[in-house]
């Protein structure tokens, strides 16, 4: 049974964000009230934690709320949000910053209830664990039994064994890919075996000098999926993650140079039946590398940083797109009832999460963590914006424009049309009217399509 907290705040946004994150990370159910009267009416319930904003208008709300609960709930932890109450920073309460510092909030509450980082990052794993089908293309043998889902019922899936441990039926993989099947399934207990074997095979295959550019694109997608699977299982930058991601990032920078025009790159990705996030990332990398050649402050030195940022910026969305392959644009995920609240929190916070992850990467390109965090135009990395401002990194603006350009291409192609550069650039200029964004858009006038 999850714990419960009562939160006094007159800031609805703060209340909603705190509630969503505490439920997702520490399984704490938060009920909010916006007045001392509401707090007093509910305070006698079986609460495990009380939280109060420090001030409501000119009233010391935290002090008053603490007075209400002090008698009957003297052993219940009490958190004050903000520094303005007389109680702030006293030994009677726990004080946190009065802003949306979610990391500190979660860490504080986890400390109160003695919840470990391992507990917070544990995930519910289904009996049959999905693996992108392309990961099996380069395996010499299967480390476990492999299954295919035989129905489309997400709540009650049924599975049939494709092959047993030790055998790879490559003709079956090709047949399934041609039929549009994106995932095979393995027993949950064996998922790390598959990931480990795939990691080794991809790194070795990328060293093959005889690979065509199309084969490199395909292999790079396998590497992307392997890194995402590893980080989903354990969101830490291990030596294996460093090895395979560095190899892939180097290859991304090189392989896009082998496609002289955007059309040829699109064709290569389409031929390989690349999945959405990888498809989007590679196209955006191509476009960003064009922009920095023609923007006044750009240069070839940005290529590695761009490849690094666009490799990791959506990495925490991969398991969600694996589960819901029918969706493309992230806003669709946020407002769809199929996703759980925890999954929506990942969508909303994926830029922040990825930014925190890449900080731990050894020898990370300078400023890459900030660019990853800001790639949706929000400096905190949480949420999306419709008002693209100038308070983000110049390279983050390039990535924002590149991804918007890709979104326009995908929308047109999904509607059965042919992308028209003039129409796309007109749409981008309307969406991004600020001068700094317009200058980036102008460089796409000579993008080789």
User: Which domains does the chain show, CATH number per domain?
Assistant: 3-121 (3.40.50.2300), 123-207 (no CATH), 211-446 (1.10.3210.10)
Distance of CA 174 to the CA centre of its chain: 29
Q: What is the pLDDT of residues 134-161, one digit of tens each?
A: 778 777 788 899 999 888 776 678 899 8
When the pLDDT of each residue in the chain is averaged and rounded to a whole number, the result is 84
**pLDDT band for position 71 (50/70/90)?**
low
Residue that wins the pLDDT comparison between 228 and 381? 381
- Please compute the mean of the pLDDT values over residues 179-206 and round it to a whole number: 81
Give the least confident one: 73-77, 281-285, 349-353: 73-77
pLDDT band at 66 (very low <50, low <70, confident <90, very high): very high
What tokens were used for 252? Answer: 């991304």
Confidence label for 94 from pLDDT (cuts 50, 70 and 90): very high
pLDDT on residue 171: 79
pLDDT higher than threshold 60 for residue 121: no
What's the start-to-end Cα distance of the chain, in Å? 56
pLDDT of residue 123 exceeding 50, the answer is: no
In this predicted model, what pLDDT tens digit does every residue of 9-32 receive, in sequence order? 887 657 766 776 687 667 788 888
Question: pLDDT band at residue 372, thresholds of 50, 70 and 90?
Answer: very high
Ordered alpha helix ranges (H), 122-212: 170-178, 191-206
Model pLDDT, residue 208: 81
Instruction: Say which residue, 297 or 394, is predicted with more confidence.
Output: 394
Report angle CA 27, 32, 37 to the nearest 5 degrees. 145
Q: CA of 243: how far to CAs of 119, 136, 202, 249, in Å?
A: 27, 20, 11, 10
What are the tokens at 8? Answer: 């006094």
Only one residue has tokens 């109450």, namely 85
Q: What is the pLDDT of residue 382?
A: 85
CB 186 within 8 A of CB 175: no
Is the confidence at residue 120, as pLDDT, over 60?
A: no
Confidence band for 309, pLDDT divided at 50, 70 and 90: very high
Mean predicted confidence (pLDDT) in 212-231: 83
The helix, strand and coil proportions of the chain, stated in percent and rounded to the nearest 5, come to 55, 10, 35
Q: Is the Cβ–Cβ distance between 381 and 348 less than 8 Å?
A: no
Q: Which of 63-67, 161-165, 436-440 shows the lowest per-residue confidence on average (mean pLDDT)? A: 161-165
Which residues are CB-contacts of 243 (< 8 A; sequence separation ≥ 6)? 199, 203
CB neighbourhood size of 420 (10 A): 12
β-pairing, 183-187 with 128-132? antiparallel
Kindly give, in sequence order, each residue whose CB lies less than 8 Å from that of residue 204, ignoring residues fewer than 6 positions away. Answer: none
Strand pairing of 49-53 and 28-33? Answer: unpaired
The residue with tokens 């075996």 is 193
What are 239-265's pLDDT values in tens digits?
877 888 888 888 888 888 888 888 888
Q: Which of 24-28, 123-127, 197-201, 278-282 is predicted least confidently?
A: 123-127
Q: Is the pLDDT of residue 124 over 60?
A: no
Q: Which of these ranges, 80-94, 329-343, 388-402, has the smallest mean pLDDT?
A: 329-343
Contact 354, 312 (CB under 8 A): yes
For residue 49, the model assigns a pLDDT of 94
Here the tokens at position 55 are 């001030």
């Amino acid at each position: 049974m999850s714990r419960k907290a009562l939160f006094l705040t007159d800031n609805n946004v703060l209340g909603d964000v705190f509630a969503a994150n505490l439920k997702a990370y520490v399984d704490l159910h938060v009920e909010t009230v916006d007045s001392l009267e509401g707090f007093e009416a509910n305070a006698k319930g079986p609460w495990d934690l009380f939280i109060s904003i420090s001030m409501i208008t000119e009233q010391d709300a935290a002090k008053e709320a603490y007075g209400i609960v002090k008698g009957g709930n003297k052993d219940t932890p009490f958190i004050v949000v903000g520094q303005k109450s007389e109680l702030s920073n006293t030994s009677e309460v726990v004080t946190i910053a009065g802003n949306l510092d979610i990391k500190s909030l979660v860490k504080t509450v986890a400390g109160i209830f003695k919840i470990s980082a391992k507990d917070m990052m544990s995930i519910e794993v289904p009996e049959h664990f999905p693996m992108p089908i392309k990961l099996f293309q380069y395996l010499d043998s299967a480390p476990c039994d492999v299954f295919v889902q035989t129905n489309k019922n997400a709540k009650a899936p049924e599975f049939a064994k494709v092959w047993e441990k030790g055998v790879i039926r490559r003709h079956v993989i090709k047949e399934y890919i041609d039929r549009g099947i994106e995932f095979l399934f393995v027993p949950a207990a064996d998922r790390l075996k598959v990931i480990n074997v795939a990691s080794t095979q991809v790194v070795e295959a990328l060293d093959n000098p005889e690979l065509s550019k199309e084969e490199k694109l395909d292999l790079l997608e396998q590497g992307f999926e392997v890194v995402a699977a590893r980080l989903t299982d354990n969101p830490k930058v291990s030596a294996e993650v460093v090895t395979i991601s560095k190899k892939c990032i180097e290859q991304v920078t090189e392989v896009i140079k082998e496609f002289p025009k955007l059309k040829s790159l699109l064709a290569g990705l389409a031929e390989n039946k690349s999945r959405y996030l990888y498809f989007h990332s590679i196209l955006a990398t191509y476009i960003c590398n064009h922009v920095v050649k023609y923007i006044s402050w750009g240069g070839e030195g940005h290529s590695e940083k761009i490849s690094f940022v666009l490799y990791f910026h959506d990495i925490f969305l991969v398991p969600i797109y694996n589960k819901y392959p029918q969706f493309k644009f992230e806003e669709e995920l946020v407002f769809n009832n199929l996703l759980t609240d925890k999954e929506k929190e990942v969508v909303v916070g994926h830029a922040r999460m990825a930014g925190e992850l890449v900080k731990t990467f050894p020898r990370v390109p300078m400023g890459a963590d900030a660019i990853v965090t800001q790639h949706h135009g929000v400096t905190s990395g949480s949420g999306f914006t419709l008002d693209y401002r100038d308070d983000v990194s110049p390279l983050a603006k390039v990535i924002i424009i590149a991804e918007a350009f890709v979104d326009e291409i995908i929308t047109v192609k999904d509607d059965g049309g042919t992308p028209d550069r003039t129409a796309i650039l007109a749409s981008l200029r309307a969406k991004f009217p600020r001068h700094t964004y317009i200058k980036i858009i102008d460089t796409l006038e000579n993008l080789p399509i």
